[in-house]
């Protein structure tokens, strides 16, 4: 009987110490703050039992109603990946009041950005955690997304490239990221490519008995109906319009906008 009581006590003790709060992210130079309630009604024992960062127990003073996880004392590098485990007793639960400080931030700085007839290339530094880069071009009098590239998330130099389809004239490109604040952060530098003067502007004709639009060169295009509803898009030297109903349409191509009528 005594043996059964001891075994039951040990199982209960293990269960009491088994709960864990886990956070993952990147070191951004800020510490975490924890609300640490009492573990029972006696108000003599606190909830948290240990704090482990990247596999190493910290020396934080956890016997307090609130305490700081001092990440700055761990000799971490900016942008270093973190796993924080907060062990606590069952029947209570601590709260990390600022977990967002471990989330990636849009802190990148553009070192260089340039474009040519086929490719946009850029280099960054000071990335604090991996976030996708949104690539946009200025076409048809507005910025439009053309690609998305995963960021490496390193504070060291990182390089990227995407394929582009320039229009005639001056082409402009910009890079952005969106972090947990949900607000886009844009590159201060923009890439620019000037189409060579010997490349003529793209023109078009409605051909093949009104079933196709033929362009004078390969171009990015979009077609909208008379109400502004998107119909189709592509990058080609011709667009099939055989399936369109009769009526007026808006054609976006090269860096131009024009109207045409499907008869």
Q: What is the CATH number of domain 109-194?
A: 2.70.50.50
pLDDT at 11 over 80: no
Give the pLDDT confidence score for residue 31 in this predicted structure.
95
Asked whether 213 and 261 are in contact (CB, 8 A), the reply is no
Question: What is the pairing mode between strands 142-150 and 158-163?
Answer: unpaired
Reported as a single tens digit per residue, the pLDDT across 79-116 is: 888 999 999 998 899 999 999 999 999 999 999 999 99
Residue by residue, what is the 3-state secondary structure of 218-242? EEEEEEEECCCCEEEEEEEEEEECC
Is the four-CA dihedral 241, 245, 246, 250 of positive or negative sign?
Answer: negative
What is the secondary structure of 158-174 as a DSSP string?
EEEEEE----SSEEEEE
What is the token pair recorded at 26? 């990147």
Q: Classify 43 in phi/psi space as left (phi over 0), alpha (psi -120 to 50) or beta.
A: left
Grouping H, G, I as helix, E, B as strand and the rest as coil, residue 179 is coil
Reported as a single tens digit per residue, the pLDDT across 128-140 is: 889 999 999 999 9
Grouping H, G, I as helix, E, B as strand and the rest as coil, residue 29 is coil
Reported as a single tens digit per residue, the pLDDT across 139-156 is: 999 999 999 999 999 889
Give the global pTM. Answer: 0.79
| Nearest Cα to Cα of residue 262 among 236, 244, 237, 238 | 244
Reported as a single tens digit per residue, the pLDDT across 199-237 is: 889 999 999 989 999 999 999 999 999 999 999 999 999
Overall fold of domain 204-262: Immunoglobulin-like (2.60.40)
pLDDT at 36 over 60: yes
Give the pLDDT confidence score for residue 8 in this predicted structure.
36
Tokens 């006590």 identify what position?
Answer: 9
Share of the chain above pLDDT 70, in %: 93
d(CA 118, CA 166): 7
N residues, the chain: 263
> At residue 25, what are phi and psi to the nearest 5 degrees?
170, -145
d(CA 30, CA 50): 20
Give the pLDDT confidence score for residue 6 in this predicted structure.
37
Question: What is the pairing mode between strands 191-194 and 158-163?
Answer: unpaired
d(CA 84, CA 43): 26
pLDDT at 25 over 50: yes
Give the pLDDT confidence score for residue 12 in this predicted structure.
38
The strand order across the sheet containing 66-69 reads: 66-69, 32-35, 95-96
> At residue 101, what are phi and psi to the nearest 5 degrees?
-70, -10
Give the pLDDT confidence score for residue 42 in this predicted structure.
75
In whole numbers, what is the pLDDT of the chain averaged over residues?
Answer: 90
Asked whether 253 and 202 are in contact (CB, 8 A), the reply is yes
Q: Which sequence spans correspond to the domains of the chain?
A: 19-102, 109-194, 204-262
Reported as a single tens digit per residue, the pLDDT across 37-75 is: 998 877 778 999 999 999 999 999 999 999 999 999 998
> At residue 245, what are phi and psi to the nearest 5 degrees?
-75, 160
Banded model confidence at residue 18, pLDDT cuts 50, 70, 90: low
Give the pLDDT confidence score for residue 154 in this predicted structure.
87
């Amino acid at each position: 009987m005594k043996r059964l009581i001891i075994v039951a006590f040990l199982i209960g003790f293990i269960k009491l110490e088994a709960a864990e709060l886990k956070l993952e992210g990147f070191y951004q130079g800020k510490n975490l703050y924890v609300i640490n309630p009492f573990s029972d009604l006696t108000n003599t024992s606190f909830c948290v039992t240990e704090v482990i960062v990247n596999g190493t127990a910290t020396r934080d003073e956890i016997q307090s109603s609130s305490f700081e996880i001092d990440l700055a004392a761990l000799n971490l590098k900016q942008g270093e990946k973190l796993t924080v485990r907060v062990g606590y007793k069952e029947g209570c639960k601590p709260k990390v009041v600022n977990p967002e400080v471990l989330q990636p931030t849009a802190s990148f700085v553009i070192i260089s950005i340039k474009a040519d007839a086929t490719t946009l290339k850029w280099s960054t530094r000071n990335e604090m955690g991996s976030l996708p880069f949104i690539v946009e071009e200025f076409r048809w009098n507005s910025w439009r997304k053309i690609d998305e590239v995963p960021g490496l998330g390193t504070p060291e130099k990182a390089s990227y490239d995407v394929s582009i389809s320039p229009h005639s004239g001056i082409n402009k490109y910009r890079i952005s990221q969106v972090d947990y604040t949900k607000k886009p952060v844009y590159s201060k530098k923009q890439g620019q490519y000037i189409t060579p003067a010997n490349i003529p502007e793209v023109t078009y004709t409605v051909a093949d008995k009104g079933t196709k639009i033929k362009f004078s060169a390969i171009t990015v295009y979009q077609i909208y109906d008379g109400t502004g509803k998107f119909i189709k898009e592509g990058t080609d030297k011709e667009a099939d319009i055989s399936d369109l109903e009769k009526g007026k349409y808006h054609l976006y191509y090269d860096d131009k906008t024009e109207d045409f009528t499907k008869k």
